[in-house]
Structure 1
Amino acid sequence: MTDDLIFLGDLARQAGAAILEIYGAEFTVSEKADHSPLTLADIRSHDILFQGLQKQFPDIPILSEEGKLVPFLARRSWPRFWLVDPLDGTKEFVKRNGEFTVNIALVEGELPILGVIYLPVGDRLYLADIHRGCWEIAENHERSLRIEEPAPDQSVREATSRSHPSPDLNRLLTRLPRHQTIVKGSAAKFCAVASGEADFYPRLGPTSEWDTAAGQAIVTAAGGVMVDTEGRPFRYNKADLVNGNFFVAPSRRWLERVGILPPHVLETQ
């Protein structure tokens, strides 16, 4: 594991600690609003991440959900940049179910090459370098992660959103002979696939680039894939930062085998 990843993991933990200070206090809120505890948690986490990244990597620009949005004309020339979600899973924060995350990714050439996802509740940390590997640190134990395809006769464990149900997703899942649902909030679904808790994470609905970049790096470093519904790898630093539908899986060939992608899509890749 590189020094940069260790630094990013420590930084994510600092941001998570600031979030937990607010999360542990008494509050009632249904959605983001000015001066609400939720907004304060976002801002505190953003400030820690922004200042830490800027100090450690002064030459790399930062794009954060809670920061100033940079016009595409300015960022299109960025060779690399940090893509940050200081608090992913706002609904999970409000519901107090603990399934919110701090997400940090380094994007280079339209693809995330480093990724960190931290779950403050439970102190679970995921670190990834697509050229070196993926690691989970939990309960003071570190392990390397590698995604394996489920056997053809096994039920597919599908990670789905706790807060964003989709009728289209229900129709898609009818293509699987057998499956079981694992409900997760926020970017924790990427971690479920990388760690072997789930086999497949389909998302049929909008997300933003900062919601997915760290997760894509983690899944890729663990040997899996994140592709759009045409089987193409996801790209970042687009003019529109809103993502389309995507699948996270052990491989594109597995998506073909189980009938999620048609065979001819993969034959042209």
Structure 2
Amino acid sequence: MKQLLPIACAAGDAIMAIYRRGSAEVRHKVDASPVTEADLAAHRVLATHLPYLLSGCPVVSEEDSSSLVYRRNAERFWLIDPLDGTKEFIARNGEFTVNIALIEEGRCTLGVVYAPAIDALYWGGAGLGAFRCMGGQTDAIKVEAAIAGRACRVVASKSHLNEATQVLIDRMGVVSLVQAGSSLKFCRVAEGEADIYPRLAPTCEWDTAAAQAVLEGAGGVVVDLQGVPLQYGKPDVLNPSFIATRDTSLIPS
């Protein structure tokens, strides 16, 4: 981890160099999702340095379609989203992240989430605990216990709150909404600032793996609508609908 965190920060530095410039070239992929030169700059940093950490451990990146073959052919691989929240980057709201996860036999065993614009660094994994470094101060984080009488704090996506997700939120009764972008939505639950994050809209494995590891390290869970933890290296890179929460009892039946 001492070697991994500086790599995440270096990718964040590459993003911020372009962010501070005030403009970035934006293109669109085949699926119409945006990609910027900052996505590619961060990808180059991660793809260059991660292979040296674990011998024979390939890097699977959203920004390298040729790397996707390793999702199915390697028991262990790095899974990265060099810039998660490209729409947030373009909107210049600061809520974008670098996501790095280690996948072993279908599970995200550790993850790093770095939000360079707000200098917030998160890392952890199941059995490893979870941690946050902000302003040079590092603290252990964990999900918050229930407080009687407090409305359930639901994380809502700034860019992807669709009708199906809204219907599920409505079934929870009285709630208070917590806004966040990118994988910071998971981190809000992990650090005790929210209780649940439902996502009934498409995501890919690289969108969730790193932050799932952080949340699991903090005592939370990320499960599909059947209550099964999200798995990685599946035949399809798309995730099922899922709910990230401090406690599965909060999920409406």
- Output the TM-score relative to the length of structure 1: 0.87
Alignment partner, residue 160 of structure 1: 156
Distance (Å, rounded) in 2 between the aligned partners of 1:218 and 1:177: 28
Amino acid at match of 2:50: L
With over 3 angstroms needed to count, the CA separation of the structure-2 counterparts of 1:246 and 1:152, relative to structure 1, is: farther
Partner of 2:225: 229
SS at match of 2:123: strand
Aligned equivalent of 1:179? 175
Q: Which amino acid aligns with 1:140?
A: G
- Alignment coverage as a number of residue pairs: 249
- Counterpart selection for 1:64 from 61, 64, 70: 61
Secondary structure of the residue aligned to 2:2 is: helix
| CA spacing shift, 1:70–1:25, aligned 2, 3 Å | closer
What does 1:122-161 correspond to in 2, within 5 Å? Answer: 122-161=118-157
Structure having the higher Rg: 1
Q: 5+ residue gaps in structure 1?
A: 263-269
The secondary structure found in structure 1 opposite 2:193 is: coil
1:205 paired with 2:194, answer no
Paired residues of 1:31 and 1:91 also in contact (CA < 8 A): no
Instruction: Give the corresponding residue for 2:116.
Output: 120
* CA-atom RMSD in angstroms: 1.8
Residue 247 of structure 1 and its aligned partner are, at CA, apart by 0.3
What is the CA–CA distance in structure 1 between the aligned matches of 2:230 and 2:115, rounded to whole Å? 24
Evaluate the alpha carbon distance shift between residue 156 and residue 75 of structure 1 in structure 2; reply closer, same or farther with a 3 A threshold: closer
Instruction: Indicate the residue corresponding to 2:76 in structure 1.
Output: 80
Which letter maps to 2:75? Answer: P
| Displacement after TM superposition at 1:7 (Å) | 1.6
Could you tell me which residue of structure 1 aligns to residue 243 of structure 2? 247
User: Could you tell me which amino acid in structure 1 is paired with residue 38 of structure 2?
Assistant: A
1:31 Cα deviation from its structure 2 partner? 5.5
8 Å contact from structure 2 (residues 114, 120) kept in 1? yes
* Secondary structure of the corresponding residue to residue 242 of structure 1: coil
2:85 & 2:184 partners in 1: Cα distance? 9
Report the identity percentage.
40
Listed one character per residue, the Cα deviations across residues 106-145 of structure 1 (whole Å, up to 9, x for unaligned) are: 0111110010000001111001132221000001111101
1:23 aligns to 2:13 (yes or no): no
Partners of 1:11 and 1:52 within 8 A in 2: yes
C-alpha spacing 1:129/1:174, structure 2 compared with 1 (3 Å): closer
The amino acid that maps onto 1:65 is: E
Structure 1 position 30, deviation (Å): 6.3
Change in CA separation of 1:75 and 1:139 when aligned onto 2, cut-off 3 Å = closer
Question: Partner amino acid for 1:163?
Answer: S
Deviation by residue 1:198-231 (Cα, 9 ceiling, x = unmatched) = 1110001000000000011011010000000111
Aligned partners of 2:55, 2:15: CA distance in 1, in Å?
25
How does the TM-score come out when normalised to structure 2?
0.93
Distance 1:148 1:56 in 2: 33
* In structure 2, C-alpha distance between the alignment counterparts of 1:169 and 1:139, rounded to whole Å: 34
